[in-house]
Structure 1
């Protein structure tokens, strides 16, 4: 299993959380906390950069969907950066892709 790396940075009104490695049952609580902390510290406009992810399981997808619902309740937004690969295929296969604005690059998401 790849070690999960999480980084957070402010970009104007947006907060960008980048995830690299694998997200699964073993570390999903860390991912949830990182994303929740980012929203609490910087507000409800979030970009989650999944470019560096090599794997995400259904528990990780569930965290993203629940956070999206929470942000929408707060008039917030959440976009994903997921270039073609395993993560994007999983989002499409589970029919979750239409829920999110999905961009190929971080610069596209920030425009």
Structure 2
């Protein structure tokens, strides 16, 4: 079941597959995110960009999904970039000690 408080926009170009997430990334939204990330990983583009700029909330399941994506991408020819967006979302990753582990850009 789709979460009414979550949506994803994607753009695929020659250089990057952009996954822009909006709203609340929680356990209810996780299947939708996983499906889109799977498509991005199967694409032929060299970089996956996950844009968190539209998020208003992220829970541990969303954080874990990004950690797992990072681990899978590290074993592939693709590169991952995460745009963190709102300071409240950035704070979640700071508290989890992931700001230097995950490939963030402001």
Specify the TM-score bucket, using the shorter chain as the normaliser. Answer: 0.7 to 0.9
Aligned residues: 104
C-alpha distance in structure 1 between counterparts of 2:32 and 2:81, whole Å: 20
Q: Secondary structure in 2 aligned to 1:97? A: coil
4+ aligned runs moved over 6 Å, structure 1: none
C-alpha distance in structure 2 between counterparts of 1:89 and 1:2, whole Å: 24
The alpha-carbon deviation at position 79 of structure 1 amounts to 1.0
* TM-score, normalization by structure 2: 0.87
* TM-score, normalization by structure 1: 0.84
**Which is richer in helix?**
1
C-alpha distance in structure 1 between counterparts of 2:34 and 2:101, whole Å: 18
List runs of 5+ in structure 2 lacking aligned partners.
Answer: none
How large is the RMSD of aligned CA atoms in angstroms? 1.7
List runs of 5+ in structure 1 lacking aligned partners.
Answer: 105-111
